[in-house]
Homo-oligomer: A and B are copies of this chain.
Amino acid sequence: MGRPALWLLLQFLLIPGAAAGIRPALRALGNLHLSSSSTSRPAVANNYLVRYIQQKVDHFGFHNAKTFKQRYLIADKHWRKDGGSILFYTGNEGDITWICNNTGFMWDVAEEMKAMLVFAEHRYYGESLPFGEDSLKDSKHLNYLTSEQALADYAMLIRHLKRTIPGAKNQPVIAIGGSYGGMLAAWFRMKYPHIVVGALASSAPIWHFKDLVPCGEFMKIVTRDFTKNGPNCSQSIHMSWGAINRLSKTSSGLQWLTKAFHLCSPLTSEDIPYLKDWLSETWVNLAMMDYPYASDFLQPLPAWPIKVVCQYLKHPHVSDSLLLQNIFQALNVYYNYSGQAKCLNFSQAATSNLGTLGWSYQVCTEMVMPFCTNGIEDMFEPYLWNLKKFSDDCYSQWGVRPRPSWITTMYGGKNISSHTNIVFSNGDLDPWSGGGVTKDITDTLVAITIPQGAHHLDLRAVEIAH
């Protein structure tokens, strides 16, 4: 469903200078509806080879001559020297095997495109650690964790593959990525158009930076996703913050909350901000993962998980305790769909496959994405974006200060019309779409909106009903 149309689009990227031809294909894609099969396809078979390439730790300086092993995965079952192509996943903040197994799209189109598949791991994630165990230790070791260094790794890797694999030299390479990986795919085409003929940037919030989009967009979309499943649903979440605040004022209230939420350790009043952050993150993750089929990306989830969650959140105007018991039922969909969890731990990460520590450094340096809420257009407690405080927090955590304008200086912000051959795809349910490119910029910088689509739905495998 829809795969042939997107595949057609990629084919257009392969025609030199003919990218203006993209548009007719787009029209077909615009009408596309995704499969709502609620069954999950088994994980992609691991029919790839694991390889390593020696990379400079610092591409942009010569004093440090150290190198490290970057991991990449390669699959050439369907690749043809004659008329083939190379699909190159620009790895993001996680273990590349996990990303590979969640990027069924590339496997789905490999045969039709006679494509070699390459999945490159982002430095400082998975096994690609420039300083081994010390890599995330401090700002000195983290100094080479930037998008520019990652893109240079990818450029070096592609040149290496073309030099060493007979038949690859003159083949077109298309960059593909989702989320931060989608930003990297788009930026890769912008900065290295001599290396990739085009890019598919899926759910890539390249505009989620200073002054480019309102900081409240993201949480407004999250809220909309819940409201869609009945206005009482987002209203219940909206009401829950006050209920928590009231209960957390007394020790008996804290005890009750600990029990009601089945928490693994007793709550103290100092925990409350963290508890609320954890709840917010849960609602955000549900919005990102609101896929039409059961999935297991950040957590095992049913099909259309928000719909399932909202079944418990139909009555906002009940007592605090009843409301929060309902909230627990909703949480349980996210944290205990498998029924295995004995208790919930609000300090747990959603998945260990994502490199949260490395990403928190990136957010504190280049990837400064402002978020805010007002509690009116969204279902959250009001929160103002405060760069000063953010910067101070970064400084105390990492000893570095963010450069909020840098990404726009480097990659152009909204002024990117001179580039070509980038497909930006966004699901209309995905909160990240607020910072993404959702309207065509030129004939060859095209936007695709996937109706009922959550976070990089298009990169996932086509679902097969069993």
By a beta-carbon cutoff of 8 Å, the part of chain A in contact with chain B is 59-65, 139-140, 142-144, 146, 148-149, 152, 155-156, 159, 191-195, 365, 399-401, 403, 405-406, 409-410, 412-413, 415-416, 418-420
Residues of chain B lying within 8 A (CB to CB) of residue A405: 159
* 7 pairs of A and B residues whose beta carbons are closest in the complex: A194-B412, A63-B143, A194-B415, A193-B418, A62-B400, A61-B143, A60-B60
The distance in angstroms between the C-alpha atoms of A149 and B58, with both chains bound, is 13
Residues of chain B lying within 8 A (CB to CB) of residue A409: 152, 155-156, 159, 195
Other than A60-B60, A156-B409, give 4 A-B pairs with Cβ distance below 8 A. Answer: A60-B61, A63-B140, A63-B399, A194-B418
Query: Which residue, of A60, A146, A416, A419, has the highest number of chain B Cβ atoms within 10 A?
Result: A60
The distance in angstroms between the C-alpha atoms of A67 and B155, with both chains bound, is 29
Q: List 10 A-B contacts (CB under 8 A).
A: A60-B61, A60-B148, A62-B400, A63-B140, A65-B400, A193-B412, A193-B418, A193-B419, A194-B416, A195-B412
The distance in angstroms between the C-alpha atoms of A412 and B403, with both chains bound, is 28
Shortest beta-carbon distance from A188 to chain B in Å: 13
**CB distance A61 to B144 under 8 Å?**
yes
Residues of chain B lying within 8 A (CB to CB) of residue A144: 61
**CB distance B194 to A146 under 8 Å?**
no
Residues of chain B lying within 8 A (CB to CB) of residue A148: 60
Residue of B nearest to A197 (CB): B418
Residue of B nearest to A64 (CB): B143
Say whether, besides A159-B409, A419-B193, A146 and B61 are in contact (CB < 8 Å): yes
**CB distance A400 to B193 under 8 Å?**
no
Shortest beta-carbon distance from A395 to chain B in Å: 10
* A142: contacting residue among B63, B152, B413, CB under 8 A: B63
Say whether, besides A159-B409, A401-B65, A409-B155, A149 and B60 are in contact (CB < 8 Å): yes
Residues of chain B lying within 8 A (CB to CB) of residue A155: 409-410
Shortest beta-carbon distance from A155 to chain B in Å: 5
Say whether, besides A405-B159, A418-B420, A62 and B143 are in contact (CB < 8 Å): yes
* A63: contacting residue among B139, B192, B419, CB under 8 A: B139
The distance in angstroms between the C-alpha atoms of A415 and B162, with both chains bound, is 15
**CB distance B60 to A400 under 8 Å?**
no
The distance in angstroms between the C-alpha atoms of A194 and B416, with both chains bound, is 6
The distance in angstroms between the C-alpha atoms of A193 and B410, with both chains bound, is 10
Residue of B nearest to A395 (CB): B65
Residues of chain B lying within 8 A (CB to CB) of residue A143: 61-64
The distance in angstroms between the C-alpha atoms of A149 and B59, with both chains bound, is 12
**CB distance A413 to B194 under 8 Å?**
yes
Residues of chain B lying within 8 A (CB to CB) of residue A415: 194
Query: Which residue, of A63, A142, A413, has the highest number of chain B Cβ atoms within 10 A?
Result: A63
The distance in angstroms between the C-alpha atoms of A258 and B419, with both chains bound, is 60
**CB distance B60 to A146 under 8 Å?**
yes
Residues of chain B lying within 8 A (CB to CB) of residue A419: 193
Shortest beta-carbon distance from A83 to chain B in Å: 20
Residues of chain B lying within 8 A (CB to CB) of residue A192: 412
Shortest beta-carbon distance from A418 to chain B in Å: 4
Shortest beta-carbon distance from A292 to chain B in Å: 37
The distance in angstroms between the C-alpha atoms of A420 and B444, with both chains bound, is 15
Residues of chain B lying within 8 A (CB to CB) of residue A399: 63
Shortest beta-carbon distance from A365 to chain B in Å: 5
Shortest beta-carbon distance from A345 to chain B in Å: 32
Shortest beta-carbon distance from A137 to chain B in Å: 12
Shortest beta-carbon distance from A9 to chain B in Å: 18
The distance in angstroms between the C-alpha atoms of A416 and B142, with both chains bound, is 33
Shortest beta-carbon distance from A442 to chain B in Å: 9
The distance in angstroms between the C-alpha atoms of A155 and B144, with both chains bound, is 21
Residue of B nearest to A61 (CB): B143
The distance in angstroms between the C-alpha atoms of A194 and B403, with both chains bound, is 19
Residues of chain B lying within 8 A (CB to CB) of residue A65: 400-401
Residues of chain B lying within 8 A (CB to CB) of residue A406: 59
Shortest beta-carbon distance from A10 to chain B in Å: 17
Residues of chain B lying within 8 A (CB to CB) of residue A412: 192-195
Say whether, besides A62-B400, A65-B400, A191 and B193 are in contact (CB < 8 Å): no
Shortest beta-carbon distance from A419 to chain B in Å: 7
Residue of B nearest to A138 (CB): B63
* A62: contacting residue among B64, B194, B365, B418, CB under 8 A: B365
The distance in angstroms between the C-alpha atoms of A156 and B409, with both chains bound, is 7
Residue of B nearest to A405 (CB): B159
